[in-house]
Structure 1
Amino acid sequence: MVYLPQAKLPATRRLNDADPRDQDYFALHLHYLGQWTPPDIPSYPTTMAATQSTVRPTLPQPKGVRYIDPDIASPSGSETPPAFPPVNAEPAEYYGGTQVYSRARTLSTSGAMGFTKSRPMTMNGEVIQRNRRLSHDETPTTPRRFLVDVEETMRLVLAQEDTDNNCQISIHDSGPKLISLGTASSNAYRTWDVRGNYMLSNLLQELALARDYGRRFIVIDEARLAENPVDRLSRMIKNSFWNALTRRIDAQGIEVACNDPKNRARKRNARIYVPHTELEMLEHYRQIAKEKPALQLEVIQLPPVPDDPEYVKSLNEKPGILALAMKKGADGKLEALPFVVPGARFNEMYNWDSYFMALALLVDGRLDLCMAIVEHFIFQIKHYNKILNGNRTYYLCRAQPPFLTDLALQVFNQLDRSQMAENKQWLKRAIQAAIKEYHRYWMVEPSLDVKTGLSRYRPVGKGIPPETEASHFTHILQPFADKRGISVNEYILGYNDGTIQEPELDEYMQHDRGVRESGHDTTYRLEKKCADLATVDLNSLLYKYEIDIASAIECMFDDELEMEEEFDLSPWPITPEAFAAGAPREKSTSRPMKSAEWYARAKARQAKLDDLCWNEGHAMYFDYDTKLERQAPYESATTFWPMWAGCASENQALALVYKAMPKLEVAGGLVSGTEESRGTISLDRPNRQWDYPFGWPPHQIMAWVGLQRYGFEEEASRLAYRWVYMMTLAFVEFNGVVVEKSNVVSLSHFVEAEYGNQGLDFRYVNREGFGWTNASFQIGLQCLTTGMRRAVAACTSPWDYFGFPAPQIDKVLPSAPVPDEHAPKPPKPAERRASDVRQVPTLQQSIAQLKGMSLSS
């Protein structure tokens, strides 16, 4: 008998000529050596090849499994679908199709299977930690795939790697960051190491996704676990996150849309409020309520004036969602248009969140969704007089930063040019709506300061905002309650129903509502004075409104735009006499709109910004306090918004880039404000989330666009690189996390401020990210060169890539979360078995063990 050299034998056992499993092997080997020919078989190799191509495994297989060898997978371009889905296919394709198993001979298995014995590494009888190998693995000649038992592998990964029991794998977990998986080509008989935090966290995510599709066993590509992180995150945002964040208020989606984590009312029934004149929509929702009694849906018709402060306050105990735009389908029935929510605790349509998400949706080719967002904006202005903070009843008195004209023009530029007549009609409706919002909300009192001609975030309202966290105002209300000898809750009830009158608190709440309308809730820049500030950000946006409206009227409507809805126009020019009580107001339908008036309005606002907000000494724009009649010198990232709007001069832009930007540019991009402006932090003066050291997606995007507008391409790319790098680093190190905001100074997503951070709380796999942070990643990638994108994917730091000194970064660790009585209970930690956990010896034990070992060992 001839034996092969032992070095070529399988590592797990020696060949045995008496073993039936090896008889074919020996026979074929001897035939090649010319020492043996099988009787009555004229051509053994040919027969063996023909037999192997038709024989199926005799052992029973799981349901839905087909026997496919990678060698017979259909070639590219074939009409037959390939045996294995693309490595980067979406979960629906990767796990949702027929299960693909490649079985060479039997169903013998090894690795992470339910019946497999664990074989921990030992030294002198003690379990030891296997450290990462320093040598490179050999490169396979074919793509490596793993055959994985989903549930058992998931249990093992969590037990071994998720040491903090949060159902995620991050660099803060102290596991060995190593697991061996059975290869698909050997039916999981041979194993291969999957190493590192990124690959293991991706494995956990893929197992969770496979479980969603009911898979017990999967074949997964190694390349999928090691996917380029920039490509992976961008793919997830485009194909998964946007879909997960999309809502419709129809029969199928109304239950999800009505859910409100911020609702603390005693009765949490699903409610929808319908505009007074939308009778067909009202009947539509009443029919849904009848057809789905389990929803306990209340359908309520709003009064003709839905934003009356007294009425809005009366809804605090019965909050609900506000109806949005619908269209008639081919069958003549109403169909809800989709919208996108930010995510986490924000499950409604928000104004400026929607704008930034729409910019990224345009990048990702979702033009239909962007058009729907504009339709919702138009609907809200028509029925609620403004684009609301969000479509909930407690937002009826508040707007948010206005972006309608810019979004409408960007969408218009993407529409099919062959349908220009229809496109113009669509744009006309958007511009008409923007004109109404401008005249009816932003350019009338109390928003407008007549003396300066600038606008402020100064919404009307009564009582305490009900959407805030329960303890948000406790430190403010406690002194007032103590003065009256009652509890804070009793004080809130008395203040809201009007039995307690407190002018000082009224003023505080007016400023607080202004902060929330600004979108910058909260910051010391605006606290206790927001309603008096003509902010540089709001007036830059209104300048853009004026320029966009003028340009559209001039270029698209032959310098004449007839208004179809009648309302009072804001007087022009702005004088105290024109705004005096009882002064006559011109109607919107009295004459066509001309571009000249809008250009004049823009020019006047630009002059006011230069005169009142520009500070030559600091080379920055500051907010203007209309009460104190002086600048509020807080150094904020909103100083770049005039560049976005195009109202900064060339000299001002140069000063902003070379003098202001160095104060605000930090490791992860632009910080919201400088540390000096924020001031000292203490127990009595805690961090605010829109202050130093935190950075937000809107500030980054506005700065990138503004810099590009004035030709500062390199600076825009550098800032975008910093932000995208920080996002990619968190994605790689923390189980695919994408959060609302970040500590851009320390490159951390752990935020010590009110509300914490949204987007952290998920199990196993991130399914939605966070709206405008998703958008900032997709938009940021457009600012990067190919080389920059590759460097970010390799997690190359900005200081290494651009060659400037590395900053001093203090890593921020997560603190214990504040318990939420309404939050779901945390999942039960994975059960740990003794064989799952590899105990790491101490330094002294390792030295003692090494001293006792001989050289031969």
Structure 2
Amino acid sequence: MACSARILVTAWCFFVGISVFVPGWQGLVYGLPPPCESQIYCTGDLLKQVQLARLFSDDKHFVDMPLRESPELVLKTFQQLVNVTPGGILSKEQLQQFVSSSFSDPGQEFEQWEPQDWTSSPQILAKISDQKLQVWASDLNAKWKSLGRKIKDDVRTHPMFYSQIYVPHPLMVPGGRFIEYYYWDSYWVIEGLLLSEMAVTAKGMIQNFLYLVERYGHIPNGGRVYYLRRSQPPFLTLMMDAYLAHANDTEFLRENIHLLEVEYEFWQRNRSVSITVGDRNHTLNYYNVQIGEPRPESYSKDWELATDLNEDARQELWAELKSAAESGWDFSSRWFLSWPPPLPATLKDTKARAVVPVDLNAFLCKTEHLLASFYRRLGNTTKAAQFQATLERRLEAVQAVFWNEAAGVWLDFNLLKKQPNPAFYPSNLAPLWTDCFSDQAAAERAVRYLEGSTVLSYKNGLPTSLARTGEQWDLPNAWPPLQHMVIAGLAKSSSLRAKEIAFALAQNWVRTNFALYKKYQAMFEKYNVDGDGKPGAGGEYQVQEGFGWTNGVVLQLLDLYGDRLTSGSPSTPFRAWIIAACIFLLNLK
């Protein structure tokens, strides 16, 4: 049998067998379910007319507005207007009046809340040698008070009036337009809270996610009904591990480990794919949201993008966009079928369901490792052995499918092309962070991979890719969670080069964040790696301030390197590594 595809210069044969239906490339019959059943917030003529009229600069504004009346009455009022309007399409003025009388401003579902476990002087401050950075860390610690939210009990008793999904405990939101909780953002928020000695608040956020798993069988993308049928990268078990490292709350683990397993099984049951390498079959995971219609929070953009497509193709595109959104990387050349050049690519080329991502499988690898460890801790040797065996299969699959000997790194696998994506993404190094590898030389190979690319020439952070597409998860943007994964992965290596590049990357990231904080008195969700540094841009909305995961990542880096970091100007990591190595060698004398 001839090889159907080759991985760069290797001679491995890949024969791809899909264990779940993959509508993005096997042909899609239209009739996929909507994002949720709400005829106001997720589907229907009311949503369509309001969003296509573009009453607000951001589509998300409308679907975050609570109702003033019952859904039935609001829909009845809208239908009456439609019935007396020629053609049934309301004017912008009619829609503005209708929305104003039927909906309240976003944010009405929250009540004032300030965390009771906040302290002005957490121990992390004493670990920071640079006085300017210490003052800044104190400011970041204070920001938790402005990002805290508590959902009103009325959302629980009258959920039909809100798009907000109720959770029982107070929480932290990212900031800016993101006034609700989000799934993967919350991991870095929780890590930051724990460093701020706010374990009660951190535990409450984890309890909220466990509540969602118990209710829905998975964790939605975020705290809105229009996010219900898609998730985000699975970090719940990693959140539990972070909390246990600070609180040693074994009873909390015992009470909830079954829910950690429920969430894990959601990904195994609904997001798995089978890939055969040689004569070995491997099960891995990918993002696969089989939900139709435009995303309610970006309705007009999705509709416009699909205007020249037939109905089947439109529904397929909208499902692909939701799958990319489930990845957290919305949007990126990483999901473009025709990328890299010379073929031009746009959002229409998004085929996220055809990509088996390195980082998703690295996260699930860590989940399997932790579940095995948790069950051993609880004395359940049978379950521990089960997850240990699952972990070993995952390690074999990650090595067989993702590791590329020629590149010296792990690469996403494209199911349509039956080959890896050779492009640089920080996610290529995710297995270093989650310990999802068995070759101890992997860190040294990863360093050579970084040095062999141009990414270390950027002094304001690692770029998200080397592709300039205008999408926010591409060049020139740099994102906090990706910086942390790469830095933390390199930092725990036994390689001196890896450790010092990790420090150089951390130094530049902290300096970039600090410089812009001094300039704007704000933290941003993403940053621009070009020039002297500025807030990130691109994508579907303006750069947001706050910002939960940004603050959490900076606090983690200050915790890791507080005695070494300084508040000067960024320099290229390669030059910084040389300087650091020289200092290290001088200290040996």
TM-score, normalised relative to structure 2: 0.68
Is the partner of 2:258 in helix, strand or coil? helix
- Per-residue deviation at 1:429? 3.2
Q: Specify the alignment match of 2:133 in structure 1.
A: 230
Is the partner of 1:542 in helix, strand or coil? helix
Paired residue total: 425
Alignment counterpart, residue 540 of structure 2, candidates 729, 736, 755: 755
Residues 673-822 of structure 1 correspond to what in structure 2 (within 5 A)? 673=465, 675=466, 678=467, 686-711=469-494, 712-732=498-518, 734-759=519-544, 769-786=546-563, 788-789=564-565, 791-792=566-567, 794-795=568-569, 797=571, 802=576
Q: Specify the alignment match of 1:669 in structure 2.
A: 461
Aligned counterparts of 2:166 and 2:137: Cα–Cα separation in 1: 32
Aligned counterparts of 1:639 and 1:597: Cα–Cα separation in 2: 28
Aligned counterparts of 1:755 and 1:736: Cα–Cα separation in 2: 24
Q: 1:747 to 1:511 in 2, by over 3 A?
A: farther
Is 2:69 the counterpart of 1:245? no
Is the partner of 1:450 in helix, strand or coil? strand
Residues 343-492 of structure 1 correspond to what in structure 2 (within 5 A)? 343-415=175-247, 423-439=249-265, 441-445=266-270, 447-451=271-275, 452-468=282-298, 471-473=300-302, 476-480=305-309
Q: Which runs of 5+ in 2 are unaligned?
A: 1-129, 276-281, 337-349, 580-589
Is the partner of 1:782 in helix, strand or coil? helix
Q: Specify the alignment match of 1:600 in structure 2.
A: 389
Give the conservation status (yes or no) of the 8 Å contact 2:185–2:548: yes
Give the conservation status (yes or no) of the 8 Å contact 1:636–1:672: yes
Give the conservation status (yes or no) of the 8 Å contact 2:362–2:431: yes
Identity %: 25
Deviations 1:121-152 (A, max 9, x none): xxxxxxxxxxxxxxxxxxxxxxxxxxxxxxxx
Aligned counterparts of 2:241 and 2:451: Cα–Cα separation in 1: 29
Give the residue type in structure 1 aligned to 2:294. I
Give the residue type in structure 1 aligned to 2:421. A
Q: Which has the higher helix share?
A: 2
Is the partner of 2:380 in helix, strand or coil? coil
- Per-residue deviation at 1:799? 7.1
Give the conservation status (yes or no) of the 8 Å contact 2:332–2:471: yes
- Per-residue deviation at 1:800? 12
Q: Which runs of 5+ in 1 are unaligned?
A: 1-226, 255-271, 273-284, 287-297, 301-317, 327-336, 417-422, 481-500, 561-592, 761-768, 806-857
Alignment counterpart, residue 503 of structure 1, candidates 308, 312, 335: 312
- Per-residue deviation at 1:714? 2.1
Aligned counterparts of 1:521 and 1:598: Cα–Cα separation in 2: 31
Q: Specify the alignment match of 2:322 in structure 1.
A: 513
Q: 1:747 to 1:613 in 2, by over 3 A?
A: farther
Q: 1:642 to 1:427 in 2, by over 3 A?
A: same
Residues 106-505 of structure 1 correspond to what in structure 2 (within 5 A)? 229-239=132-142, 241-250=143-152, 272=155, 285-286=156-157, 298-300=158-160, 320-324=163-167, 326=168, 337-415=169-247, 423-439=249-265, 441-445=266-270, 447-451=271-275, 452-468=282-298, 471-473=300-302, 476-480=305-309, 502-505=311-314
Is the partner of 1:602 in helix, strand or coil? helix
Is the partner of 2:333 in helix, strand or coil? coil
Give the conservation status (yes or no) of the 8 Å contact 2:184–2:234: yes
User: Larger radius of gyration, structure 1 or 2?
Assistant: 1
Q: Which has the higher contact order (CA 8 A, sep 6+)?
A: 2
Q: 1:533 to 1:796 in 2, by over 3 A?
A: closer
Is the partner of 1:597 in helix, strand or coil? helix
- Per-residue deviation at 1:773? 0.9
Give the conservation status (yes or no) of the 8 Å contact 2:365–2:434: yes
- Per-residue deviation at 1:632? 2.3
- Per-residue deviation at 1:784? 2.2
Q: 1:403 to 1:800 in 2, by over 3 A?
A: closer
Is 2:394 the counterpart of 1:620? no
Give the residue type in structure 1 aligned to 2:365. Y
Q: 1:557 to 1:785 in 2, by over 3 A?
A: closer
Deviations 1:758-801 (A, max 9, x none): 335xxxxxxxx311111121112123253x43x31x44656799
- Per-residue deviation at 1:235? 1.0
Aligned counterparts of 2:409 and 2:573: Cα–Cα separation in 1: 26
Is the partner of 1:374 in helix, strand or coil? helix
Is the partner of 2:561 in helix, strand or coil? coil
Is the partner of 1:473 in helix, strand or coil? helix
Aligned counterparts of 2:228 and 2:491: Cα–Cα separation in 1: 36
Aligned counterparts of 1:618 and 1:801: Cα–Cα separation in 2: 23
Deviations 1:31-62 (A, max 9, x none): xxxxxxxxxxxxxxxxxxxxxxxxxxxxxxxx
Aligned counterparts of 2:573 and 2:327: Cα–Cα separation in 1: 34
Deviations 1:188-234 (A, max 9, x none): xxxxxxxxxxxxxxxxxxxxxxxxxxxxxxxxxxxxxxx95423321
Is the partner of 2:230 in helix, strand or coil? coil
Give the residue type in structure 1 aligned to 2:544. G
- Per-residue deviation at 1:695? 0.5
Deviations 1:101-131 (A, max 9, x none): xxxxxxxxxxxxxxxxxxxxxxxxxxxxxxx
Give the conservation status (yes or no) of the 8 Å contact 1:669–1:695: yes
Aligned counterparts of 2:164 and 2:141: Cα–Cα separation in 1: 27
Q: 1:672 to 1:600 in 2, by over 3 A?
A: same
Give the residue type in structure 2 aligned to 1:557. L
Is the partner of 1:414 in helix, strand or coil? helix
- Per-residue deviation at 1:647? 1.2
Q: Specify the alignment match of 1:650 in structure 2.
A: 440
Deviations 1:541-576 (A, max 9, x none): 11111110011111x12134xxxxxxxxxxxxxxxx
TM-score, normalised relative to structure 1: 0.47
Residues 505-544 of structure 1 correspond to what in structure 2 (within 5 A)? 505-527=314-336, 528-544=350-366
Q: Specify the alignment match of 1:639 in structure 2.
A: 428
- Per-residue deviation at 1:475? 5.0
Q: 1:377 to 1:740 in 2, by over 3 A?
A: same
Give the conservation status (yes or no) of the 8 Å contact 2:528–2:535: yes
- Per-residue deviation at 1:376? 1.0
Aligned counterparts of 1:747 and 1:638: Cα–Cα separation in 2: 25
